[in-house]
Amino acid sequence: MIDKSIDTIIFDYGGVLINLDYQATINAFGELGIDDFESLYSQAEQSNLFNDLETGQISPAYFINQLLELLPANITPNQVVHAWNSIIKDVPKESVELLLKLKRQGYRLFLLSNTNQLHIDVADSEWLKVSEFPLVKFFDAVYYSHEVKMRKPNAEIFEFVCTENVLDPKKTLFIDDSIQHIEGAKKMGLQTVHLEKGMLLQELFS
């Protein structure tokens, strides 16, 4: 149950509002020829290449070309993009219904996601399969790491969102499925919920 003092909710995207499968991406790159992709990329720790993509330091095209250098010569850019995007799964209809409910109840809603343009293109497409309105219409503001050039769990991105929107951390709830992001938000004084595996987002608001 959410504390009654909360008037603002900041949602993570992947793993909270849309389903992800990290192993699917690891498997897809394994099939293309990178046997140790798991050592390069995981939910908890990423190499500089992935960090740079998520903070807008490099373009998607540069990112794809860097991965191609690790792959057999016959692999195409489209195959790399498909493998990279295999992490993105479906959007539960309940996510859309919950956001509509919370908006009706008067909460200010924000989205804060470590992501990149390649993933967002697919995620937006999945969102529109279950909603007549695009994702951005559900939020007061949307913050993607590759656009603001900052990423969780660094304090600067939480401070940026709170300052720009004049949010009171004590009245602001942050929901994320990654514990390191939760710890970063706590340091900024935000109220938090770590959405662990098996937990249902809707039950937090029942």
Are both 32 and 116 inside the same structural domain?
Answer: no
Are both 103 and 152 inside the same structural domain?
Answer: yes
Residue 164 lies in a domain: yes
More confident residue, 202 or 90: 90
Are both 77 and 102 inside the same structural domain?
Answer: no
Rounded Cα distance, 58 and 61, in Å: 8
| Per-residue pLDDT at 1 | 67
State pTM to two decimals.
Answer: 0.93
Are both 79 and 94 inside the same structural domain?
Answer: no
> What is the CATH classification number for the domain harbouring 183?
3.40.50.1000
Residue percentage of the chain with pLDDT more than 70 = 96
Contact (Cβ atoms closer than 8 angstroms) between residue 148 and residue 177: no
Are both 73 and 94 inside the same structural domain?
Answer: no
Q: How many domains does the chain have?
A: 2
Range of the domain at 185: 8-19+90-205
Is the peptide bond prior to 153 cis by the omega test (within 30 degrees of 0)? yes
Are both 126 and 101 inside the same structural domain?
Answer: yes
State the Cα angle at 173 between 107 and 167, rounded to 5°: 70
**Among 130, 101, 134, residue whose Cα is nearest residue 120:** 134
Are both 68 and 160 inside the same structural domain?
Answer: no
Residue 1 lies in a domain: no
| Per-residue pLDDT at 5 | 92
Residue 3 lies in a domain: no
> What is the CATH classification number for the domain harbouring 47?
1.10.150
Asked whether residue 121 carries a pLDDT value surpassing 80, the answer given is yes
SS3 for 12-79, per residue? CCECCCECECHHHHHHHHHHHCCCCHHHHECCCCECHHHHHHHCCCCCHHHHHHHHHCCCCCCCCHHH
Are both 110 and 178 inside the same structural domain?
Answer: yes
- Residue 182 identity (one-letter amino acid): I
Rounded Cα distance, 9 and 97, in Å: 15
What pairs with residue 109 in β-bridges?
9
Are both 74 and 122 inside the same structural domain?
Answer: no
Are both 100 and 58 inside the same structural domain?
Answer: no
Last residue within a domain, chosen from 85, 107, 137: 85
Are both 99 and 79 inside the same structural domain?
Answer: no
Are both 96 and 161 inside the same structural domain?
Answer: yes
Q: Quick one: average pLDDT of 12-41?
A: 92
Residue 32 lies in a domain: yes
What pairs with residue 175 in β-bridges?
11, 193
pLDDT band at 3 (very low <50, low <70, confident <90, very high): confident
